Amino acid sequence: MTRAPARAASPGPNLLDGCAMEERTVSIPAMHCGHCAATISRELLEIEGVESVKGDAEKKQVRIRWKPPATWDRIAEALAEIGFPPSVR
Ligand SMILES: [Cu+2]
């Protein structure tokens, strides 16, 4: 007996991955040059679950992608600890 097509019956494995991943772009006023961006990148990538960190020193913004066990709170805390607190928490 054949019923609905599989793609309609199941959300698919990709959805599970997609749901876990989060991304945020934040302003970091203390970031002044590429060196600052490199420091931020290096520190955040030490946190388990942080997937990528892309800093733009001209815009003073960083785009961060992460998944569990990393959390935004943990990332924001790490930024504050190294002297680059995000302008939004
Ligand atoms: Cu700098």
Predicted pLDDT of residue 2? 55
pLDDT in tens, 27-64: 999 999 999 999 999 999 999 999 999 999 999 999 99
Instruction: Tell me, in angstroms, the distance from the centre of ligand 1 to residue 73's CA.
Output: 24
What kind of architecture, by CATH, is found in domain 31-89? Answer: 2-Layer Sandwich (3.30)
Helices 34-45 and 72-81: angle between axes, nearest 10 degrees: 130
Cα 71 from Cα 76, distance rounded (Å):
9
**Domain ranges within the chain, ordered by starting residue:** 31-89
Instruction: Tell me, in angstroms, the distance from the centre of ligand 1 to residue 25's CA.
Output: 19
The mean pLDDT value of the chain amounts to: 86
Cβ-defined contacts of 32-37 (< 8 Å, 24+): 32/57, 32/60, 33/57, 36/84, 37/62
Model confidence pTM above 0.75: yes
Looking at the predicted structure, is the pLDDT value of residue 1 above 80? no
Instruction: Tell me, in angstroms, the distance from the centre of ligand 1 to residue 80's CA.
Output: 15
pLDDT in tens, 56-70: 999 999 999 999 999
